[in-house]
Homo-oligomer: A and B are copies of this chain.
């Protein structure tokens, strides 16, 4: 069996222990004589696992009884739609903090449903290289919510502070850095995350929503678009994406075993430091476009002196067993996505490769 160092941006690396457990019980899960894929979503065994995943999520996030955890589908892109559909309406608008590609995509869907008030840090040519400062945020105290994207997968920037938004509910798309560090759950009214970066495989989106915010959701909506219906049915109104939820549950158990969010933050800080130090010490051979205080600890993006060198870098990395380092097609460049499942060792090996590459080509 071959295993590579996997810096894919999502779907992304999954802890080896999680995959090994899934493999070992793929034909006979929990002694049921069935694969977890073959078990009814109304069975005792399935519901136990489903509720275990919810309980683990709440425990890791430090969320109390006043939170509902939903397992939905359609990725964060579907939340871009469901959130305003549930919460906005005539004269009921929202604030959007626009820090990258996915924030913009969220705005595109939301503006169908109500007036939006934007704080954007978009630069020339559609680039994003920083997170706005607190003083820059244009906030409307009457907004139904404030929407932010905690980490920008494509541009490689990340909020390194949590904004103050007064009494307005704060909603966060945490798709690409959820559970990579502790966060003050009390500051938020909702967060959501596609699982395929830090939490498992694609196919499930976690939506965590506070009861007080859920109470604001509209009643008369198409069934599958209604937060209230999904919450009332514990995400079992219809058949959920059972296998993805199962891998999510195993991944949450792995995070717990690693020591929880504080321990993950320590590891992620160390990984990011090793990479950014290597970039900063390269004498300009590797160059990060993002302002230092806004750098992402999940997606480390940088450029090389030429497109040819960037191509050679990707090719040589692959030959060295390091894959997924090509930047997003909209930005080009190099990107290392160092989500939770990539441990320090992988990053150290990659920095050795970077130094070697610079020595040969610098």
Binding site for B on A (CB under 8 A): 1-4, 6, 8-14, 16, 19-20, 22-23, 26-28, 31-35, 37-42, 73-78, 80-81, 85, 105, 108-109, 112, 194, 196, 200-204, 222-225, 237-244, 247, 321, 323-324, 329
Contact residues in B for A23 (Cβ distance below 8 Å): 23, 26-27
By the criterion CB–CB under 8 Å, are A2 and B14 in contact? Answer: no
On chain B, the residues within 8 Å of A37 by CB distance are 11, 14, 19, 200-202, 247
Contacting residues, chain B, for A35 (C-beta < 8 A): 14, 19
A14-B35, A74-B224, A81-B224 known; A40-B241 Cβ under 8 A? no
A16 to B27, CA, bound (A): 8
CB distance B19 to A32 under 8 Å?
no
| B11 touching A33, Cβ below 8 Å | no
Work out how many copies of this chain go into the complex: 2
With A38-B6, A73-B74, A241-B241 given, is the CB distance from A1 to B14 under 8 Å? no
* Pairwise interchain contact A201-B109, C-beta atoms closer than 8 A: no
Q: Do B244 and A243 touch across chains, with their CB atoms under 8 A apart?
A: yes
Q: Are B26 and A203 in contact (CB under 8 A)?
A: no
Residue of B whose beta carbon sits closest to that of A5: B33
A16 to chain B, nearest CB (A): 8
A38 to chain B, nearest CB (A): 5
Point out the residue from B1, B108, B196, B238 that lies within 8 Å of A223, measured CB to CB: B108
Q: How far is the CA of A239 from the CA of B41 in the complex (A)?
A: 24
- Per the bound structure, the CA–CA distance linking A76 and B203 in Å amounts to 15
Query: Do the beta carbons of B26 and A26 come within 8 Å of each other?
Result: yes
Shortest C-beta distance, A48 to chain B (Å), equals 15
Q: Are A39 and B223 in contact (CB under 8 A)?
A: no
Judge whether B243 and A203 touch: CB under 8 Å. yes
Q: Is the CB of B34 within 8 A of A27?
A: no
Measured CB to CB, the nearest residue on chain B to A200 is: B37
The interface residues of chain B lying within 8 Å CB-to-CB of A323 are 32-34
State whether B321 touches A33 (Cβ < 8 A): yes
Q: Which residues of chain B have C-beta atoms less than 8 A from A14's C-beta?
A: 35, 37-38
Known: A203-B73, A238-B77. A324 touches B243 (CB 8 A): no
Chain B residues whose CB sits within 8 angstroms of the CB of A74 once the complex forms: 73-74, 78, 224, 238
Contacts of A20 in B (CB 8 A): 27
A to B CB contacts below 8 Å, 14 in the list:
A4-B33, A8-B38, A8-B39, A11-B38, A12-B38, A19-B27, A37-B202, A73-B75, A80-B224, A81-B223, A81-B225, A112-B222, A203-B241, A243-B243
User: Which residues of chain B come closer than 8 Å to A13, judged between CB atoms?
Assistant: 34, 38
Instruction: Tell me, in angstroms, the Cα distance from A324 to B44 when the chains sit together.
Output: 12
In whole Å, how far is A100's beta carbon from the nearest beta carbon of chain B?
15
- Whether B33 lies near A26 (C-beta < 8 A) is no
CB distance from A28 to the nearest CB of B (A): 5
- Which B residues touch A241, using CB under 8 A? 73, 202-203, 241, 244
A12 CA to B240 CA, complexed, in Å: 13
Partner of A40, one of B11, B31, B238, B247: B11
Please name all residues of chain B whose beta carbon is closer than 8 Å to the beta carbon of A78 when the two chains form the complex.
73-74, 224
Minimal beta-carbon separation of A291 from chain B (angstroms): 28
* Cα distance A137–B222 in the bound complex, in angstroms: 27
